[in-house]
């Protein structure tokens, strides 16, 4: 953290120091996103809700020497804390990636990244989904499972280091060749504090362990843009579904791909991931989508997309749930037996009205919310994104 403050100070004066070390002026940004959402059928209730997220950030770079460059980043976030999936739809995919579970106003990320030749080292409070398990094309969609696979995003006692809880991290990136790279990271195993959502959560504990993730990336451009991601992750401490004692485990792998089907017109992506069913309700996640762009001469920047995401219930959780339901007395209010999984279909259109304003209507159909044998939901919504700077 002192290094970050030093970088910020140097960037403000924008002067070369220490015989060649210099920093550029910082770049500030601010954005406000708001989702207006209505569940029209099924789920918990057919109600309306709005969710929002305000983000303010600062980024900059400089040179420490002729061989070493430095980047820094810091941000703060605010959310009203309204919950659409948790309170209205009842799904596990999470309809809106703005949903953070609770209201907060807090300091979010703060990291420095040292670049040396074909490698870099990042230290600080860090969102792993900025670099791990992320595809440019899939980021169009509002459903949270298309940002980071839910086999990772919903894992752990408090999730991995992603929105809205960020943990102390160390990330190493190596550029193996012009089109291949390897990333490795070790992060606090339980970032943030769900009971105090506005706290930064800098505490490290051996009892909570660490989250480890590695990813191998291949970029190919011979026949249009194409990317392959091969990843693996593990918690050093986890609590199994039928245990109160922490143990090693909760391991998962994923494969992700995107490519241009028609250059500058049509993109396609898919993702498959698997995890140990002893530690969480779901043991498999898959998604796929199509993105259409530049299809209108009058609106060349607009984008249309359709995507599917599916969660598969693990055998361990299915057995526990079925046993609890079978053994319960009639009329106790227990949930019905689990379905095999939860399916989400999203259709969305992003209209860029100016460099300051974007509108994005969407529809999401959720079959078997939370993988329960109940009525499917149909959610309609509109995202309004405003660039404030």
Place of tokens 């689990």: 338
Structure tokens at 185: 């990271």
How far is residue 25 from each of residues 4, 16, 59, 248, measured CA to CA in Å?
14, 12, 9, 45
* Cβ neighbours, 10 Å, residue 257: 17
Q: Are 113 and 97 in contact (CB under 8 A)?
A: no
pTM: 0.89
Q: Which sequence spans correspond to the domains of the chain?
A: 2-387
Does residue 103 contact residue 197 with C-beta atoms inside 8 Å? yes
Q: Which CATH superfamily is domain 2-387 in?
A: Carbohydrate-selective porin OprB (2.40.160.180)
What is the pLDDT tens value at each position of the chain, 389 positions in all?
333 443 444 444 343 444 467 888 999 999 999 999 999 999 999 999 999 999 999 999 999 988 999 999 999 999 999 999 999 999 999 999 999 999 999 999 999 999 999 999 999 999 999 999 999 999 999 999 999 999 999 888 788 999 999 999 999 999 999 999 999 999 999 898 888 889 887 777 777 889 999 999 999 876 668 999 999 999 998 878 777 666 677 899 999 999 999 988 999 999 999 998 888 889 999 999 999 998 888 889 999 999 999 999 998 888 887 776 555 555 555 666 688 999 999 999 999 999 999 999 999 999 999 998 778 999 999 999 999 98
């Amino acid at each position: 953290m002192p290094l970050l403050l030093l970088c910020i100070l140097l960037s403000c004066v924008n002067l070369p120091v220490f015989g060649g070390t210099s920093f550029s002026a910082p770049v500030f940004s601010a954005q406000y996103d708001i989702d207006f959402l209505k569940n029209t059928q099924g789920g918990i209730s057919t109600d309306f809700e709005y969710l929002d997220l305000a983000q303010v950030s600062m980024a900059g770079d400089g040179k420490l020497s002729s061989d070493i460059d430095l980047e820094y980043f810091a941000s703060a976030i605010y959310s009203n804390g309204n919950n659409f999936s948790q309170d209205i739809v009842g799904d596990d995919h999470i309809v809106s990636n703005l949903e953070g579970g609770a209201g907060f106003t807090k300091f979010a990320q703060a990291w420095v990244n040292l670049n040396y030749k074909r490698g870099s080292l990042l230290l600080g409070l860090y969102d792993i989904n900025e670099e791990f398990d992320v595809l440019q094309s899939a980021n169009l969609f509002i459903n949270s499972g298309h940002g980071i696979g839910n086999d990772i995003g919903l894992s752990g006692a408090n999730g991995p280091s992603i929105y809205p809880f960020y943990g102390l991290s160390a990330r190493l990136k190596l550029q193996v060749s012009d089109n291949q790279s390897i990333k490795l990271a070790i992060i606090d195993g339980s970032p943030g504090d769900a009971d105090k959502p506005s706290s930064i959560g800098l505490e490290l504990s051996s009892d909570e362990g660490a989250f480890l993730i590695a990813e191998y990336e291949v970029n190919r451009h011979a026949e249009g843009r194409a990317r392959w991601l091969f990843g693996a992750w593990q918690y050093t401490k986890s609590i199994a579904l039928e245990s109160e004692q922490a143990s090693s485990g909760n391991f998962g792998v994923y494969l992700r791909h995107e490519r241009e089907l028609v250059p500058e017109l049509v993109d396609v992506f898919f993702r498959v991931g698997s995890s140990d069913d002893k530690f969480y309700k779901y043991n498999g996640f898959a998604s796929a989508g199509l993105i259409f762009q530049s299809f209108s001469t009058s609106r060349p920047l607009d984008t249309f997309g359709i995507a599917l995401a599916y969660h598969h219930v693990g055998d361990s959780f299915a057995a526990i749930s079925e046993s609890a339901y079978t053994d319960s007395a009639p009329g106790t209010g227990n949930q019905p037996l689990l379905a095999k999984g939860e399916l989400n279909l999203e259709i969305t259109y992003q209209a860029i009205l100016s460099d300051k304003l974007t509108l994005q209507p969407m529809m999401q159909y959720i079959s078997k919310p939370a993988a329960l044998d109940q009525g499917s939901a149909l959610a309609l919504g509109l995202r309004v994104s405003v660039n404030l700077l």
